[in-house]
Amino acid sequence: MQRKSDEFYMKKCIELALLGKGQVSPNPMVGCVVLDKNGEIISTGYHKKYGEFHAERNALINTDTAKTEEGTIFVNLEPCSHWGKTPPCTDIIIEKKIKKVVIGMQDVNPKIDGISVLKNAGIEVVTGVLENECKFLNRVFIKNITENLPYVVLKTATTMDGKISTQNGDSKWITSEESRAEVYKMRKEFDCIMTSSNTVIADNPTMEHRFKCIADTNNKISKDSKILSQGKIYHATKYNTPLKDGHLDLRAVLTELYKQGACSVLVECGGTMAGAMLKEGLIDEIYQFIAPKILNDNTGKSCFNGDSVNQISQTTKLTIYDTQIVSDDLLVKSIVRKP
Catalytic residues: 56
Q: What angle do CA 109, 20, 53 make, to 5 degrees?
A: 65
Nearest to 212 by CA among 164, 251, 263, 267: 267
Nearest to 9 by CA among 55, 56, 72: 72
Instruction: Please tell me the distance from the alpha carbon of residue 50 to that of residue 86, in angstroms, as a whole number.
Output: 10
**Contact by Cβ (8 Å): 99, 121:** no
At 330, which helix (H) or strand (E)?
strand 329-336
Beta-bridged to residue 152, according to DSSP, are: 265
**Contact by Cβ (8 Å): 67, 3:** no
Residue 203 CA from chain centroid, whole number: 27
Instruction: Please tell me the distance from the alpha carbon of residue 230 to that of residue 291, in angstroms, as a whole number.
Output: 30
Q: In what order do the strands lie in the sheet with 72-77?
A: 41-46, 31-35, 72-77, 100-105, 124-126
Please report, for residues 11, 32, 151, the alpha-carbon distance to residue 18 in angstroms, rounded to integers and kept in the order given.
11, 11, 17
Return the SS3 of 191. coil
- CB neighbour list of residue 151: distance below 8 Å, 6 or more residues apart: 139, 140, 143, 144, 263, 264, 265, 284, 285
3-class DSSP string for 135-177: HHHCHHHHHHHHHCCCEEEEEEEECCCCEEECCCCCCCCCCCH
Nearest to 265 by CA among 241, 282, 248: 282
